[in-house]
Amino acid sequence: MTYHPHIPDGSNATIHSAVSATGTPVYGETYRIPARCGVAVIAKDGDLLNINNPSGYQVCDFWAFRLNNLNEYLSMSHSRTHLGKLIPELGDTLVSNLRSNMVTLESSDTPISHDTLIAACDHHRYQQLGVHAYHDNCTDNLRMATQAIGQKIPLVPDPFNLWMNVPISPSNTVSFEPPVSSENSRVLLRIHGDCLLVMSACPQDITPVNGEGKNPSHLEFSISN
Ligand SMILES: [Zn+2]
């Protein structure tokens, strides 16, 4: 079977959740990312992306692509190399696969809980977790959110997993734990260069990454300059 990175394995309301036909936002307007869905938005150089986590326990998978060249994208492995650390801290700038600046973590009230190691959930992950029917997933949310604004991504990069709590043990194992953030926790990201940004309110309800209740919830965001 031929693999096409931009074609979803299934569908949900993400395909109808675009901020506009082109993904251009109204500055200062608060947009909702419905639970289990994703949204794509275009940001300009120097813009500030403000993501709000109303429940405090909802993971946000985050991607950034260079708008004029989608083959350049925010890269977790290049960012870990650049920073010399596994989890970015306040003031740190994450970079692209071409090692140029993409986003700076300007503010976060839970700086220790973000994750750069874990792949986005996808159809195959849920099948392996024992789900038989189609399950909403972050990979498809990325595909549908970009499709909804007329963009075609050339690959599915590893996401920057905001609020995702995956501690690393002294023996180098990882575990999937509930978020440690509180209600209305915010993350502010400064955008470098014109970018296509995608956020997915992770629909994971098999492991407790979205809280002990395994009940995915919505997120909100706004763009300002
Ligand atoms: Zn997910």
Q: Would you give the distance in Å from CA 95 to the centre of its chain?
A: 15
For residue 72, the cross-strand partners are: none
Phi and psi of 60, rounded to 5°?
-120, 115
List residues, by chain if needed, whose CB lies under 5 Å from ion ligand 1.
Answer: 121, 138, 202, 204
Write down the pLDDT at residue 136.
98
Tell me how far the alpha carbon of residue 159 lies from the centroid of ligand 1, in angstroms: 10
pLDDT one-digit tens code per residue, 109-153: 765 689 999 999 999 999 999 999 999 999 999 999 999 999 999
Tell me how far the alpha carbon of residue 184 lies from the centroid of ligand 1, in angstroms: 20
Q: Is the CB of residue 40 less than 8 Å from the CB of residue 15?
A: no
CB atoms within 10 A of CB 27: 12
Measured CA to CA in angstroms, residue 49 lies from 9, 46, 140, 173 at distances of 29, 10, 22, 32
How would you classify residue 91: left for phi > 0, otherwise alpha for psi between -120 and 50, otherwise beta?
left
In whole angstroms, what is the distance from residue 79 CA to residue 98 CA? 10
Write down the pLDDT at residue 112.
60
pLDDT one-digit tens code per residue, 150-198: 999 999 999 999 999 999 999 999 999 998 888 999 999 999 999 999 9
Q: Is the CB of residue 13 less than 8 Å from the CB of residue 37?
A: yes
pTM assigned to the model: 0.97
The domain spans of the chain are 13-214
Tell me how far the alpha carbon of residue 138 lies from the centroid of ligand 1, in angstroms: 4
